[in-house]
Structure 1
Amino acid sequence: MLDTKERQILRARAHALKPVVMIGAHGVTDGVVAELEVALNAHELIKVRLPSVPHDQRDAMTQTLAETGHADIIGRVGRILILYRPRPESARKR
């Protein structure tokens, strides 16, 4: 679990990032979950673009993505979600 200061630092780092995972009209599919895994393993800190659906559906998608990706929600502004999951020690560059 991240504290407020860590979230603030990560949010600042994410500011310049572009969304690397886009959720389509079909919502969170197996393909989206696979792409989320690849993106989190490669980058740790990512932005996800959510579809233009009602607010409560976006909230549900946000929770689903965080749970399936085992990631922390750093923030969400409108349709943009910021997720963070540290790389495992075995995957870090040496």
Structure 2
Amino acid sequence: MLTGRQRSYLKSIANGLDPIIQIGKNGISENLIKQIDDALEAREIIKVKILNNSLLETKETANKIAKLTDSEFVQSIGNKFVLYRESKDNKKIELP
């Protein structure tokens, strides 16, 4: 679980990130979860965009994916959300 200070720190990092994963009309699939899992291991923090043709709610989707990937939901703005998970092998982000 993240503290408020850690969440604020991660938000500041995520501010400069572009979404690297997009969720379309196919929704949450096994392949999508694998991609997000791999991206979190490599980068620790990622931004995901839900496309307009998807009928998914942003916060609901973010929480579901966070649970499936064992990651932390950081924030959602509009149709984008940020996830964080500490990497096992290549740790880059030091939380305050």
- The list of structure 1 runs, each at least 4 consecutive aligned residues, that deviate by more than 2 angstroms after superposition, is 51-54, 56-60
Letter in 2 for 1:70: D
Q: Structure 1 unaligned runs (5+)?
A: none
Question: In the aligned structure 2, how far is the partner of 1:59 from the partner of 1:65?
Answer: 10
User: What's the secondary structure of 2:60's corresponding residue?
Assistant: helix
- Does 1:92 pair with 2:79? no
The 5 A counterparts of 1:27-66 are 27-52=27-52, 53=54, 57-66=57-66
Point out the structure with the larger helix share: 1
Identity %: 26
Q: TM-score, normalised by structure 2?
A: 0.85
Residue in 1 that maps onto 2:26:
26
Q: Structure 2 unaligned runs (5+)?
A: 92-96
RMSD: 1.6
Letter in 2 for 1:83: L
Q: TM-score, normalised by structure 1?
A: 0.87
